[in-house]
Amino acid sequence: MLIIEVKDTESIDRALKRYKRKHQRTKLMRHLRNRKHFVKPSVRRRTEMLKAEYVNKKRMKEE
């Protein structure tokens, strides 16, 4: 559970913005979405390999 301490001089909007940023950095939603459905290890490895190839090709084009 994320805890944000709100200072006396801080506005609620600012505290909410800090909470959202902290929530995004912890990757909590991504973790929950991944746990929603079981993915076989072989499929997970394949998607990681395809993503690595894509990123590598993109880097090679930039150079």
d(CA 40, CA 49): 14
**44, two tokens:** 């997970």
pLDDT digits (tens, 9 = 90+) for 38-54: 999 999 999 999 999 99
What is the pLDDT, as a whole number, of residue 41? 95
pLDDT of residue 62: 86
pTM over 0.75: no
Chain centroid to CA 62: 25
Sequence ranges of the domains in the chain: 12-62
In angstroms, rounded to a whole number, what is the distance separating the alpha carbons of residues 32 and 55? 25
Q: Give the tens place of pLDDT for each residue, 4-20.
A: 889 889 999 999 999 99
pLDDT score of 14: 93
Q: Is the distance from CB of 2 to CB of 29 less than 8 angstroms?
A: no
Report the pLDDT value the prediction gives residue 18, as an integer from 0 to 100: 92
